[in-house]
Chains A and B, each alone.
Chain A
Amino acid sequence: MRYDRIRTGLIMVLRMLLRRRIAIILLIVIPVVFLTVVEFTTSTRTLPFRLASLDEEVFIETSEKNISFVFFALASAGFLVSFLALNLIQKNNNVNRRLVICGYHPNEILISSLASLFLMILLIAIFVGILTNAFFNLEHLPMFIFGLVLIGVVYGCYGLAVGSLVKGELEGILFIVLLVNIDAGWLQNPLFYAEAQNKLIIRYLPAYFPSQAAIISAFTDYSAGTAIWNSLLYGCTFLLLSMFIFFRKMRIRK
């Protein structure tokens, strides 16, 4: 593996991303729309709920509006990063293969794509975190942003795996919508989760631990350590899976 190839790849991938102006505008507009809809449609009544990863005695009391802000911030970050990762890999699959024929190692391409994706995750997480904080005061903003980074890593790697595996754009998008919508966009909502049946299923979905970490940081002073470690574990699993699939798809016989 050569550092100069990874650096060139990173620069080129970032240039390609930043030149898609409509996509960049949507990255900014979508979280604003999500949170504005929450502002205008949710009530301010206080709702007590219990978080699965905290002690059974611990109840959080906050308004429906506030919990919706946090939940939709997480869902929008997960959605955006997942789509971005899918697009990053899928659009250039054939050209990347030509790069491999010309001398790039598949891992050099993947590392430059991952580095670009991670930079975008950071930017999205910081933007969504600050935006959420503008709507209501989060208890621990940096940790909340870290929670958004975690959901970005988990769903980013999922997007990479889908992008490497699925050829069609529509099929890829549907794969993303299917999981992200059910998981981050629905089941991880603590208000739904509190009364849900078969919680074990929800606990094993990708957005569970990042959501727990972000919600704990947003509303309490409790430690989110376990949720963070489990998120990282989930992220690493998806990362290894996506690397394996990408490598298999890109390898050539010399």
Chain B
Amino acid sequence: MEPGSLKGIVGENGAGKTTLMKIIVGRWKADKGKIKVNGKIGYCPQKVLLFSHLTVDENFRYFSAAYGIGKKNFLINRDALMEQFNFKAFRKEKFENLSGGTQQKLNLSIALLHQPDLLVLDEPYNGFDWDTYLRFWDYTGTLRKRGCTILIVTHLVTEKERFDTIYNLENGYLT
């Protein structure tokens, strides 16, 4: 995948899209073949996976420790992401009290916090309202200019022109 490209993977329910994502990020082992990754990966899982008893800010802090980013970069990136996706007002709110859409915004922002070189997104805009959906696409443009490669997995592609390439996953093959 070329730096700055935007690729999509589509497929029917149960085609193995999420399985492929999990293999790419290292969660599962492939039956055969190898994945070579240059640089940092940002992974946004389909199911929102965050700590429900922690606040938005605490979730950011916990994952920033995982990424190993410094305090200064953490604060800049966190604020920029909350601004971009418009959920700064919920900074002190516990995750479990957020709406589904805001939870999804945080889920995505966590994947972007360390400014990855490869962004792997599994059904990223489920639950987004129209404004957030547009903000999301707006932000992918910024990421691509920076050289970040984006891989989006979805069961439904509505705006094909946004992608450089769209692959179809069927019977274990990408076509």
Contact = CB atoms under 8 A, between A and B. Distances in A.
B61 A8 contact: yes
Given A5-B65, A103-B67, A103-B68, A97 B51 contact: no
Interface in A84-105: 92, 94-95, 97-99, 101-104
B26 A253 contact: yes
Contacts of B27: 97, 101, 252
A99 B63 contact: yes
Contacts of B43: 98, 101-102
Interface string B57-98: 010011101111000000000000000000000000010000
Given A16-B54, A20-B53, A98-B49, A253 B65 contact: no
Nearest to B53: A16
Interface size class for chain B?
A: 20 to 34
Contacts of B29: 253
B54 A9 contact: no
Contact of B51 (A8, A95, A104): A95
Interface in A2-16: 2, 4-5, 8-9, 12, 15-16
A99 B54 contact: no
Nearest to B94: A19
Contacts, number: 62
A102 B63 contact: yes
Interface string B27-59: 111000000000001010101011101100010
Contacts of B67: 102-103
A104 B66 contact: yes
B25 interface: yes
A45 interface: no
Interface in A233-254: 252-254
Interface of A: 2, 4-5, 8-9, 12, 15-16, 19-20, 92, 94-95, 97-99, 101-104, 252-254
Interface of B: 25-29, 41, 43, 45, 47, 49-51, 53-54, 58, 61-63, 65-68, 94, 110, 114
Given A5-B65, A95-B49, 19 more contacts: A2-B68, A5-B68, A8-B65, A12-B58, A12-B61, A15-B53, A15-B54, A16-B54, A20-B53, A98-B43, A98-B50, A99-B63, A99-B66, A101-B26, A101-B41, A102-B114, A103-B67, A253-B26, A253-B29
